[in-house]
Structure 1
Amino acid sequence: MARPAPWTSLVKPDPGRDYLFLLSFLPLERARALPTFARFGVGIRRQLATTPGLIGHSMKANLRPRHFWTLSVWEGEQALAEFVRRNPHGDVMSALERDMGRTTFVRWTAPGSAVPPTWEDAFARSEAQARAGSVDAAYVSVGPADLVPVGELRGSLVRERRVAVANVDGALYAFDDLCPHLQCSLHEGALRGTTVTCPCHASDFDVTTGAVLSGPAKDPVPTFDLRVRDGELEIRTG
């Protein structure tokens, strides 16, 4: 990867206050767009030199896969929002629309003492956001957070998999709804403490671990990650 451009400082940051940090990823899908991108880049740097609320900026490029990154620090969300509203790069994006890949952005706040930011830290945050995004995509909402009353069971379908949810004194647990003995629905059984009893042949399972407590079932039931987010009960089965 090519060496990044030096950090361009426009305003001396206050080490005692927080600023908005922004990493932008700009991929070009076609080599034919490189001359246009380079030509517009000169004008963009001139614009940034007089942009209100911008503390400083830098850029990094990897020409072989045509990947470009910008790293900037702003006074705050309002300064960045005003910059976006002015759409100073509108002509650039229009000219490159058919040649641009999927752009991504990572933002975070940090004190002025962290200016200039390091590329290592910025890329680490980008990777963490990507991992979190893949995890979020794996969760499926099954209803409101209060879907399952205390001491009760409910059944849901998550990505074509039948899942049971138990509420034990306010703590929620998700596990496979099908008893491994003869595939009866566990959410139709009885919940006593952390033990669920299959309604068909009375096999007992620990809802917190899926372990078999008594037969005739011999195998445990799979358990799943569960969370409450924005008032929604979400389950991840994969």
Structure 2
Amino acid sequence: MAKRVLRASMMTGVVLGGLVLAGCSDGSDSERKTADSKSRQACAHFLGAENVRKAVDSVGGGEEAALTRLAPGDLAAALSREAEEWSEDDLLHNEYSACRIQLRSGDGGAFVIEATAGWSMLTFDFMMSKPKYGKNWQRLNDQVFVWPEDGQSRMRLLVECGVPGAPSGQQEGLPLEMMVADPGLAVEQRQTLLSTFARTLVEELGCTGDPVVPAQLLR
């Protein structure tokens, strides 16, 4: 199966929308604080409050801003809508930023921790039939693959997730892909953030087939 093409302009809009919502609004300080508070709540919801705190502390803390565009329920609704409209020749899917935490340290350094989700460019069958993909993606069970992206400050996860009400074949033809990117966290922290994110989103989508995302993604 051919790669699907991401709608880059929409993906950029998601990130910029988050910046406007939480950090770059022309509104009052009160409005900005309210937006930031809601964004922090969304990040805690998706990634786990304690996991976020440890990740922020591990890069030195400092000035912090949480940026999101979609509330948790809205993210699940957007993904469900795309799945319900899916067809085999559907080549356009969006990537959504579920949580973006921007940090500035005392020495002027800047770091970003971000979790994104979208319907994948690859199917399991295509991925496993191509050696260059198969050697990157590690199978955790029949419904979950992980790509540690060794040497990169990010990790990806593919989950076979059927959405109730979606067309027949969507579960096999449209895997859910999630990613956590960071400023260089320990891999144990990265996998904890990604696993928590994936399990939360799988539950909110009500994925058919009950996919099990392990807490430990690395062997």
Q: TM-score range by the shorter chain?
A: under 0.3
- Higher strand share goes to which structure? 1
Bigger Rg, structure 1 or 2: 1
TM-score normalised to the size of structure 1?
A: 0.24
- Higher helix share goes to which structure? 2
